[in-house]
């Protein structure tokens, strides 16, 4: 039963990915402007354009184009970036993506490693003492942070730490060989911004779910059995709150990979989201498609993991009658 | 002998948002002697649970102790510090809640939850506690005691969970047990088994207990002393025998009156045929219905099979059976909420479309559904005039002043004041909400009302009033009722026809008097004999009977062939009952029994 549930999830994930690939392909093809014309710019005579179109396979039927693209993607060939194609050689997208993926992954892992334990702990703390000053402070500040747009938080942090105090650089300049303290200092600003932003949601979700479980009859029963408060929260309540918490964490991690466009732009952080912006500006369709596929794949994988955690934490599914 | 627990002038109040205190318990005093069971009895709102919980030094959120003492072994528990209270709870005083299904943590194993308190308090090591738990499982006659601890709550039945709850409470050998309506949510057949094991375990362990309930017949089986409560005050306090046989207080007598007598022939309502026409108001023929995808006319899980029921105009058909027998499914098929896989639903002799969506507005209007939980059936954000006005406008096209007048009439019909039109559901009591729920169905001016367990969640006195109201409505409007309940006494006091369902089959049906007098189907006999009687000693007598020993506390299992009651029937014949579909035997008139036994055999 549980294997069937997991297999079904896996199937749904694959179907989602496929549907998204179709949508991305249609979407990028619907964008105005002919890629060949854009690349050629002023040299776009009808003859030149026709030659380049044939070279890029743009003269083929869209369905055929899609199938060629899809089979290449499956084999790990994301295509050739059209930036610079006019000059002769294009850059393989895989090579362009490599360092950007590393940067984004580093930032995501660091933010996750800092934000998840802190926010689950703060959420639990607030839920353990509902209505107290501590709880109200946590609830109030997280609500404020959620309501403020991300660029404003980034700007405020820049004003404080870079402009007034002069402790941290306001722009990230990664050479690629930094390590340890230097690295931390270089990426401190985007790191802080993202930790603050993603923590707020996790804290609020943890608090709300745990509080909800805390008002259930089985928690009252645990109180009446003389179970200490700490054990009630950690053993009785948290176990039943895992599903929603894991889901909000997964959504936040996925957002860190693809959704932090504004924050990456403000700090000039050379991550994936910024690459996608650049690709859109240059009408570099293969690159846009590749980035969009990666973002979507990350979402699908993380949500799949969260679903599995929810299913596995449910004894009804783990131990059918 | 000094008392184990002394409740002395206990006062508890509720604090509202404006910091005002409303008294809930107004100076209650009683004692519990060692080895004694004291019952607290009263309607909801009488403060019985609040008083019981005070013996653990606990109040529900929003309530607080205002005065008085609760002394356990002479020591006040109300003024105890948190650490000491933790030591008291689960160790010296243990609590058993009403709904074990909700009070067991779904994510933890049964064994961990049963032994948790004992191990945490350092009374036993985990191994000792596990052994003690296994002994208790055996004493409580739970199946598979060696492996039960490793299972999860959803893997055992409701009645078993209720007994596991008792094992949890008893594991640490407490001095005092607090039982809060422990059998109210159970079917009658399960209830007596659970009552029996509670009683024998309490005797074996020599524990004292506070037993909270609204059911006087249950109390008579188990209590030594009875405290009758109303609105936070003691009305009567005496030995069980004295309170049951010679109640001295007016309120106790009202409680006794509301206890419906055990079902017996002669109570069935005789309804007149003045509203009758040629065709029955509603009829189902050869019904087959269930859940899951339907293939070749058969659903994945078939619940109802070969069901034939006719509801004459102005009559009430009671549908009775344990949970899982298909009572609600039958009502849902009639209403069109669940389209039948095979068979017909006829309104006034004309076949209806199986699914709700395909029925005409006129047909929808004639069949109305009254749901069990008024709390969830009424939209909390709509005022009563809107809740009642919507069907009035939808079915009868009334607007403005006319609509307002009709809403007023409806309120009058269910005996509620006109001012209620401007209120929200949460401002009403449980019984009042149920009346609104009923008025909402009546607003359509239906010909058939499907009432699904409409009084199960109500206190006995409130429930009795709602039944009176239903009787009056039936007389005035000629509306027909399908009245579903697991409580045979309720059905017997209202319906003139009874349909007994078991595992989706009609095992017996006919006029109330005929069904409640011999010959019985073995299942009907089991149901009748399981209804507690208001006399001391009934429980012991009943447990001796053949029916009880074969049939109580078993799960209802759906079968494809043979008689589904086979595995619980004391008179089952192997090779026949489990293989062949039982024949429908006409007894007299419209009374029929579906059983392999012949009429001569029934007579034995």
What's the CATH code, domain B282-603?
3.40.50.300
Q: Do the chains contact at B103 and A217, CB–CB below 8 Å?
A: yes
Domain that holds residue A166: 103-282
Peptide bond into A288 cis (omega under 30): no
Chosen from A221, A243, A320, A321 to mutate, greatest number of chain B CBs within 10 A: A221
Residue B600: strand, helix, or coil: helix
Q: Which helix (H) or strand (E) holds B310?
A: strand B298-311
Classify residue B123 by its DSSP letter: S
CA distance B176 to chain A (A): 13
Q: Do the chains contact at B90 and A224, CB–CB below 8 Å?
A: yes
- CB of B397 within 8 Å of a chain A CB? The answer is no
- CB of A230 within 8 Å of a chain B CB? The answer is no
Smallest CA–CA distance from A315 into chain B, residue: B107
Fold equal for B5-48+59-225+240-258 and B282-603? yes
Q: Evaluate if residue B409 carries a pLDDT over 60.
A: yes
Predicted pLDDT of residue B317: 93
CA distance A222 to chain B (A): 8
C-alpha closest to that of B215 among B203, B205, B206, B223: B223
Smallest CA–CA distance from A226 into chain B, residue: B86
Using CA atoms, how far apart are residues B112 and B167, in angstroms rounded to an integer?
12
Q: Evaluate if residue B572 carries a pLDDT over 70.
A: yes
pLDDT averaged over consecutive 10-residue blocks of chain A (321 residues)? 81 90 81 67 74 72 79 75 55 78 85 90 88 88 85 85 80 71 78 86 89 88 89 86 86 80 81 84 80 86 86 78 60
Predicted pLDDT of residue B603: 65
Does residue A23 sit within a domain? no
Chosen from B105, B143, B154, B155 to mutate, greatest number of chain A CBs within 10 A: B105
- CB of A315 within 8 Å of a chain B CB? The answer is yes
Predicted pLDDT of residue B386: 93
Q: Evaluate if residue B392 carries a pLDDT over 70.
A: yes
Checking ipTM against 0.90, whether it exceeds it is no
Higher-pLDDT residue of A295 and B319 is B319
Lowest mean pLDDT among A51-55, B296-300, B418-422: A51-55
Predicted pLDDT of residue B270: 57
Residue in the structure block whose two tokens are 């040299």 = A43
Smallest CA–CA distance from A320 into chain B, residue: B155
Q: Work out how many domains chain A is built from and give that number.
A: 1
Residues 203-222 of A with CB under 8 A from B: 216-218, 220-222
Using CA atoms, how far apart are residues B259 and B256, in angstroms rounded to an integer?
5
Answer whether 0.80 is exceeded by the pTM: no
Using CA atoms, how far apart are residues B70 and A245, in angstroms rounded to an integer?
42
For residue B99, which residues of chain A lie inside 8 Å, CB to CB? 217
Please name the residues in contact with A121: beta carbons below 8 A apart, sequence gap of 6 or more.
none
- CB of B94 within 8 Å of a chain A CB? The answer is yes
Does residue A199 sit within a domain? yes
Q: Which helix (H) or strand (E) holds B15?
A: strand B5-15
A16 neighbors A300 (Cβ within 8 angstroms): yes
Q: Evaluate if residue B107 carries a pLDDT over 50.
A: yes
Over residues B248-267, the mean pLDDT reads 73
Q: Do the chains contact at B120 and A227, CB–CB below 8 Å?
A: yes
Does residue A26 sit within a domain? no
Give the residue extent of every domain in chain B.
5-48+59-225+240-258, 282-603
* CATH number of the domain to which A263 belongs: 1.10.3720.10
Residues 415-454 of B with CB under 8 A from A: none
For residue B97, which residues of chain A lie inside 8 Å, CB to CB? 217, 220-221
Q: Evaluate if residue B553 carries a pLDDT over 70.
A: no
Tokens of A221: 């029963």
- CB of B396 within 8 Å of a chain A CB? The answer is no
CATH class of B5-48+59-225+240-258: alpha beta
Q: Which helix (H) or strand (E) holds B435?
A: helix B430-442
**Which of the four pLDDT bands, split at 50, 70 and 90, describes residue B54?**
very high
- CB of B107 within 8 Å of a chain A CB? The answer is yes
Q: Do the chains contact at A226 and B85, CB–CB below 8 Å?
A: yes
Q: Do the chains contact at A236 and B105, CB–CB below 8 Å?
A: yes
Using CA atoms, how far apart are residues A182 and A196, in angstroms rounded to an integer?
21
C-alpha closest to that of B12 among B229, B252, B239, B184: B229
Does residue A42 sit within a domain? no
Using CA atoms, how far apart are residues B524 and B592, in angstroms rounded to an integer?
12
């Amino acid at each position: 039963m549980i294997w069937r549930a997991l297999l079904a999830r896996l199937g749904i994930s694959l179907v989602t990915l496929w549907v998204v690939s179709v949508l991305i392909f249609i979407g990028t093809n619907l964008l105005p402007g002919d890629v060949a014309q854009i690349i050629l710019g002023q040299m776009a005579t009808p003859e030149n354009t026709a030659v380049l179109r044939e070279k890029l396979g743009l003269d083929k039927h869209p369905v055929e184009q899609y199938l060629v693209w899809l089979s290449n993607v499956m084999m790990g060939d994301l295509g050739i970036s059209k930036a610079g194609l006019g000059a002769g050689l294009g850059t393989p997208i895989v090579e362009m993506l490599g360092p950007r993926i590393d940067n984004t992954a580093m930032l995501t892992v660091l933010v996750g490693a800092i934000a998840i334990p802190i926010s689950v702990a703060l959420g639990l703390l607030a839920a353990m003492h509902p209505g107290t000053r501590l709880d109200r402070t946590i609830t109030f500040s997280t609500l404020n942070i959620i309501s403020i747009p991300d660029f404003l938080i980034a700007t405020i942090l820049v004003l404080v730490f870079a402009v007034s105090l002069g402790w941290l650089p306001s722009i990230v300049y990664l050479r690629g060989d930094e390590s340890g303290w230097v690295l931390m200092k270089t990426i401190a600003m985007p790191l802080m911004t993202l930790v603050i932003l993603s923590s707020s949601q996790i804290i609020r979700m943890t608090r709300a779910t745990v509080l909800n479980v805390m008002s259930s009859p089985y928690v009252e029963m645990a109180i009446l059995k003389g179970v200490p408060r700490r054990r009630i929260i950690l053993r009785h309540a948290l176990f039943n709150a895992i599903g929603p918490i894991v889901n909000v964490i997964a959504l936040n991690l996925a957002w860190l990979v693809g959704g932090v466009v504004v924050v990456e732009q403000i700090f000039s952080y050379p991550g994936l989201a910024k690459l996608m912006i650049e690709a859109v500006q240059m009408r570099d369709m293969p690159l846009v498609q590749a980035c969009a596929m990666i973002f979507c794949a990350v979402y699908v994988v993380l949500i799949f993991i969260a679903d599995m955690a929810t299913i596995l934490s449910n004894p009804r599914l783990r131990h059918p009658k | 002998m000094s008392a184990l627990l002394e409740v002395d002038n206990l006062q508890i109040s509720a604090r509202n948002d404006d910091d005002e205190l409303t008294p809930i318990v107004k100076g209650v005093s009683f004692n519990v002697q060692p080895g004694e069971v004291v019952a607290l009895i009263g309607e909801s709102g009488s403060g019985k649970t609040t008083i019981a919980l005070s013996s653990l030094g606990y109040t529900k959120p929003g309530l607080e102790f205002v005065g008085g003492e609760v002394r356990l072994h002479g020591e006040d528990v109300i003024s105890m510090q948190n650490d000491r209270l933790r030591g008291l709870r689960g160790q010296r005083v243990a609590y058993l809640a009403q709904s074990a299904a909700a009070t067991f943590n779904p994510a933890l194993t049964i064994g961990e939850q049963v032994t948790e308190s004992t191990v945490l308090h350092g009374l036993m090591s985990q191994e000792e506690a596990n052994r003690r738990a296994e002994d208790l499982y055996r004493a409580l006659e739970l199946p598979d005691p060696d492996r039960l601890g490793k299972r999860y709550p959803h893997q055992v039945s409701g009645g078993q969970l209720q007994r596991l709850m008792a094992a949890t409470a008893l594991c640490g050998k407490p001095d005092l047990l607090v039982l809060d309506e422990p059998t109210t949510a159970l079917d009658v057949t399960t209830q007596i088994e659970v009552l029996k094991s509670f009683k024998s375990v309490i005797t074996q362990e020599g524990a004292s207990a506070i037993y909270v309930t609204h059911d006087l017949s249950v109390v008579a089986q188990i209590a030594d002393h009875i405290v009758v409560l109303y609105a936070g005050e003691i009305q009567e306090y005496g030995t069980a025998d004295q309170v049951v046989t010679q109640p001295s207080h007016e309120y106790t007598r009202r409680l006794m009156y509301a206890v419906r007598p055990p079902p017996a022939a002669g109570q069935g309502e005789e309804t007149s045929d003045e509203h009758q026409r040629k065709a029955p108001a509603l009829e189902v023929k050869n019904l087959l219905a269930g859940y899951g995808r339907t293939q070749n006319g058969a659903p994945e899980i078939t619940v109802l099979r070969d069901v034939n029921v006719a509801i004459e105009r102005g009559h009430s058909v009671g549908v009775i059976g344990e949970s899982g027998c298909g009572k609600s499914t039958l009502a849902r098929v009639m209403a069109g909420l669940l389209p039948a896989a095979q068979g017909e639903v006829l309104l006034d002799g004309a076949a209806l479309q199986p699914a709700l969506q395909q029925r005409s507005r006129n047909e929808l209007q004639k069949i109305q559904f009254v749901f069990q939980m008024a709390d969830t059936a009424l939209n909390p954000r709509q005022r009563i005039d809107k809740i009642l006005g919507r069907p009035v406008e939808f079915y009868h096209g009334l607007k403005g002043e006319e609509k307002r007048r009709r809403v007023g009439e409806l309120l009058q019909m269910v005996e509620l004041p006109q001012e209620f039109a401007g209120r929200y559901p949460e401002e009403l009591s449980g019984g009042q909400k149920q009346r609104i729920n009923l008025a909402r169905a009546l607003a359509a001016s239906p010909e058939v009302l499907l009432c699904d367990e409409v009084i199960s969640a109500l206190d006995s006195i409130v429930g009795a009033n709602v039944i009176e109201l239903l009787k009056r409505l039936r007389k005035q409007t000629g509306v027909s009722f399908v009245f579903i309940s697991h409580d045979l006494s309720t059905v017997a006091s209202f319906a003139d026809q009874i349909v007994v369902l078991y595992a989706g089959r009609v095992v017996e049906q006919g006029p109330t008097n005929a069904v409640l007098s011999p010959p019985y189907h073995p299942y009907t006999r089991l149901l009748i004999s399981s209804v507690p009687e208001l006399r001391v000693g009934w429980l012991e007598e009943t447990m001796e009977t053949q029916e009880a020993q074969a049939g109580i506390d078993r799960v209802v299992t759906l079968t494809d062939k043979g008689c589904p009651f086979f595995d619980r029937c004391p008179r089952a014949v192997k090779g026949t009952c489990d293989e062949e579909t039982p024949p429908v035997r006409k007894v007299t008139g419209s009374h029929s029994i579906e059983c392999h036994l012949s009429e001569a055999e029934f007579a034995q």
